[in-house]
Amino acid sequence: MRGAMSLRWLGAVAVLFACVSWAQDRAAEADARTPEQWLQLVQQSARRLDYSGTLIYQRGTETRMSKIVHVFDGKVAHERLQPLDGRQREFIRRADEVKCLVPDAKRVIVERKARPESFPALASASADELLRSYSVKNVGRERVGGFDCQVLEIQPKQNDRFGYRLWVDRASGLLLRSQTLGERGEVLEQMAFSDLRIGSVDREQLKPSWSTEGWQVDETAYKPVDLREQGWRLVPPAGFKPMYAVRRPMKDGPALQAVFSDGLASLSVFIEPAAAAGSRDSLPSAGPINAFARQVGDATVTVVGEVPFSTARSVAQAAERIGR
Amino acid sequence: MKAKRIEGGTARGNDDLELQLSSLLDGEVDDATCRSLLERLRRDGEAGRNWELLNCVGDAMRSSDVASWHRPGFVLKVAAALEQEPTVLAPAALPRVGLRRWMLPGAGVAAAAAVLLAVGLPRLQSGAPVEVASTAPASLQVRAAAPAGQPEIERSPVLERYLAAHRELADPTVMPFSTPYVRTSGAILTQESR
């Protein structure tokens, strides 16, 4: 009897010891993670974790709140985003398809990303590729809303793009707060969770607020194109890879759109007949979003993206017509 | 609270056993089943390893990075310790993590961490975007209008049109998918005004 008791204690102590060393290992693992591994973890966690909460977005004097529900079903991610300010609308995502619900107009606008088969150039940016354009540093630990967070600073190697500061939950890898930084380190925009709940998301919460029965459904039709065949040569900043080149409808007719991304920032180049683009007297910049438009022959080239103004301008200025 | 209680009876087949083990971990079995499962864990090495694996899966699922430092050797060591003394596995001594839900495809994370983040967003100094003088004659002046009251994007129907179109195809790879939507949630969608 006594032998059985002490054996039992021994077992309990062994388990306790195992748990402690496990926890230590785990903390050590987080400490040992390189900046690149942190970035990979952020990428994975954003997709694979279940969470719900409220996102606060701030840019200049403007603040927006959105409710977000995210569920990973083992294969694809489902998400519902409800902006709480401005006009009523909701974004319901399943994998690469986003349905934008506009209750005022009783319309559903379906955005479906055209995927790899038609875009062989499309490859998700790896941490390695990111490191060619940015240097990533662990700059310490900070508590954010009770979460022990790793703070990462991502500095561009050249000032043709912005920097970022990220707060990543060390336990789950979820990005809890992010800032986009200008050339002088000033904060251009920031995003952070208020009331966040990780795990245990009721799938009912993914359902839209309105029944869309009888609503008009529109789907954006993209047609992949070869820019050279279309007679255009575009020069993105170094490190930006071509993601898409499509012919797509815009408000006043078809346009060419080319999207480039360096894994963190992206920019679009729109090419339209000058007449359709019309005369514009101004394009405002909005925090990290800058735009520049320029006439090239009978076309208007408009560059829009999360890049500095000078970058948007140089991309627009480098756009040229080439012989077919 | 409990979805269902597993009643007594012996485990038939691996699926049954796994279900019962995860119920045991959830503290959702009756006393008789608990005893028979513990007995089985003691005798059956395969069942013991299953049990350890279930525990690991629970941890791995709760934190997606756990899996990356999972070491089978460690599990075996714990398994060996536990096989010596199965009674320490009394369900009450284990965290109730609703493991069974982890095991079902599509089930959400059951271990809920509800927290309130008090986010103190510092007031940004660069409130109004900088005015940029453009000298190229054919180019457009980019200039920030910043009257208060209305979000900037909404004030520029031209820009928001492009932003909505840009958002459709811009995949943020590191940032969460929603980032562009949160950023331009007020933008008029391209087709909306067609």
Q: With an 8 Å Cβ cutoff, are A246 and B169 in contact?
A: yes
Confidence (pLDDT) at A237: 94
Please tell me the predicted confidence (pLDDT) of residue B138: 30
What Cα–Cα distance (Å) separates residue A27 from each residue in A20, A136, B56, B65? 11, 21, 16, 11
- Mind listing the pLDDT tens digit for each residue in A76-104? 889 999 999 888 889 999 988 889 999 99
Q: Which chain B residue has its CA at the smallest distance from A47's CA? A: B176
Asked if B164 contacts B189 with a C-beta cutoff of 8 angstroms, the reply is yes
The residue among A28, A55, A38 whose CA lies nearest residue A168 is A38
CA distance A11 to A194: 43
Is the pLDDT reported for residue A6 higher than 60?
yes
Residue from the list B110, B116, B124 with its beta carbon closest to the beta carbon of A58: B124
pTM of the complete model beyond 0.95:
no
Mean pLDDT of chain A: 85
Test B145 with A309 for CB contact under 8 angstroms.
Answer: no
Cα separations in angstroms, B181 against A265, B68, B163, B185: 14, 31, 10, 5
Contact A54, A68 (CB under 8 A): yes
Say whether residue B157 is in contact with chain A using an 8 A CB cutoff: no
- Strand A216-219 relative to strand A232-233, pairing: unpaired
Give CA–CA dist B3/B25, Å, rounded. 14
Q: Which residue has the higher pLDDT, A291 or A119?
A: A291
| Mean pLDDT computed over A196-200 | 89
Whether the predicted interface score ipTM is above 0.85: no
Contacts of A260 in chain B (CB under 8 A): none
Which chain B residues touch A49 with a CB distance below 8 Å?
A: 64, 109
B92 shares contact with chain A (CB less than 8 Å): no
H-type alpha helices, A62-216: 127-133
Is residue A320 within 8 A of residue A233, CB to CB? The reply is yes
Beta-carbon separation of B78 and A302 below 8 A: no
Provide mean pLDDT across the span A291-300: 89
pLDDT category, A40, cuts 50, 70, 90?
confident
For residue B75, count CB atoms less than 10 angstroms from its CB and return exposed for 0-12, middle for 13-18, buried for 19 or more: middle
Which of B122, B127, B185 faces A86 most closely, judged by CB atoms?
B185
- Contact between A70 and B130 (Cβ < 8 Å): no
| pLDDT digit string (tens) for chain B, length 194 residues | 444 444 443 434 556 777 777 777 766 777 777 778 777 777 777 777 776 666 655 555 555 455 545 554 554 565 555 445 433 333 333 333 333 333 333 333 222 332 323 232 332 333 333 223 332 333 333 333 333 333 444 456 677 788 888 888 876 655 665 777 777 665 544 444 33
**Cα distance from B19 to chain A (closest Cα, Å)?**
19
